[in-house]
């Protein structure tokens, strides 16, 4: 077994610190296929080829938090996607614990955390089946010090919004929040409560939104909720409610 034990209130987790890697998610996947048993966090001080959603690059400068958690069979396969929402709730809790002002921290469907209406964190869930086990990697990037320019959605960093915390200190808060929320989730049996926690801090709930899915026509409607599987519920102008499983979404009005 690799990594050092982390002191969390719920669950036994280990932590491996890497100075530099291409991607903490990729490294977790490598350990999974090599037989690592899971509950392993990997953080890196720098990433050279970090991954975002849909294959996009994630900025890898030193000072930001790059963390991935490897889990083995955390739930039945149909509930694995719940972990995206657990990650988002946990990131919000970790940032909130260091925010001393009136910063607004919201959760943008499906996998972003917004700080004062700008993206400060992204989440990437990946999975693989190996030797009859389902391995899941929960990848989390948080802009502690730096943020990229000219992004698809406006970005910011914690430092730019007045929150001063090191990546190391923030990670410890994040690891505890994730441990608590995974325990509360109870292998998917309590997603109803996780869903409500997410909705309580949802970004843009009730607002008009453009939904863009590669290869499909743009859809416009109002973001009214997420369903029992975490799909976005979009109410169209005709009054029809549609489920959206994955997409880029753009809000059409200021909050």
The pLDDT tens digits for 177-205 are 999 999 999 999 999 999 999 999 999 99
4-199 CATH choice from 3.30.930.10, 1.20.120.80, 3.40.50.300, 3.40.50.1970: 3.30.930.10
Tell me what percent of the residues of the chain surpass a pLDDT of 90.
80
Task: For residue range 210-254, list pLDDT tens digits in order.
Answer: 999 888 889 999 999 999 999 999 999 999 999 999 998 999 754
> What 3-state DSSP class applies to 198?
helix
Query: Is residue 116's pLDDT more than 80?
Result: yes
Instruction: List the beta bridge partners of residue 119.
Output: 114, 155
Per the model's pLDDT, the better-predicted residue between 140 and 54 turns out to be 140
Burial class (CB in 10 A: 0-12, 13-18, 19+), 181: buried
Query: Is residue 49's pLDDT more than 80?
Result: no
What six digits make up the tokens of 164?
A: 């001063």
pLDDT value for 210 = 94
Which pLDDT band, with edges at 50, 70 and 90, does 143 fall under?
A: very high
Which is nearest to 27 in space by CA: 82, 67, 56? 67
Tell me what percent of the residues of the chain surpass a pLDDT of 70.
95
Nearest 5°: phi and psi at 29? -60, -40
pLDDT value for 54 = 46
Which pLDDT band, with edges at 50, 70 and 90, does 119 fall under?
A: very high
Q: Which residue has the tokens 């940032």?
A: 95
Helix 191-199 and helix 167-185: axis angle, to 10°?
Answer: 130
Which pLDDT band, with edges at 50, 70 and 90, does 149 fall under?
A: confident
Query: Domain residue spans in the chain?
Result: 4-199, 208-251
Q: Can you tell me the distance from the alpha carbon of 106 to that of 84, in angstroms, rounded to the nearest whole number?
A: 14
Per the model's pLDDT, the better-predicted residue between 10 and 40 turns out to be 40
Q: How far is CA 138 from CA 9, 91, 127, in A?
A: 20, 12, 9
The model carries a pTM of 0.94
Query: Is residue 209's pLDDT more than 90?
Result: yes
Nearest 5°: phi and psi at 226? -125, 150
What six digits make up the tokens of 100?
A: 């001393």
- Domain 208-251: which topology? SH3 type barrels. (2.30.30)
């Amino acid at each position: 077994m690799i990594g050092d034990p982390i002191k969390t209130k719920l669950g036994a987790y280990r932590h491996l610190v890497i100075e530099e890697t291409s991607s903490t998610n990729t490294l977790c996947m490598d350990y999974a296929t090599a037989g690592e048993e899971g509950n392993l966090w990997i953080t890196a001080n720098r990433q050279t080829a970090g991954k975002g959603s849909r294959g996009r690059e994630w900025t890898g400068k030193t000072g930001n938090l790059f963390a991935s958690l490897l889990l083995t069979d955390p739930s039945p396969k149909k509930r694995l996607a719940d972990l995206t929402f657990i990650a988002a709730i946990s990131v919000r809790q970790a940032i909130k614990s260091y925010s001393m002002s009136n910063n607004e921290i919201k959760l943008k469907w499906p996998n972003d955390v917004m700080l004062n209406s700008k993206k400060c964190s992204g989440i990437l869930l990946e999975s693989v089946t190996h030797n009859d086990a389902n391995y899941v990697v929960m990848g989390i990037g948080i802009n502690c010090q730096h943020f990229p320019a000219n992004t698809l959605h406006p970005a910011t960093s914690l430092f730019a919004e007045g929150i001063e915390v090191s990546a190391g200190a923030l990670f410890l808060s994040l690891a505890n929040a994730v441990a608590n929320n995974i325990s509360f989730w109870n292998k998917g049996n309590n997603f109803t409560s996780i869903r409500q926690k997410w909705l309580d801090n949802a970004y843009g709930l009730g607002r008009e939104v453009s939904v863009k899915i590669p290869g499909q026509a743009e859809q416009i409607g109002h973001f009214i909720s997420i369903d029992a599987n975490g799909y976005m519920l979009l109410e169209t102008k005709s009054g029809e409610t549609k489920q959206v499983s994955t997409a880029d979404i753009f809000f059409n009005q200021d909050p």
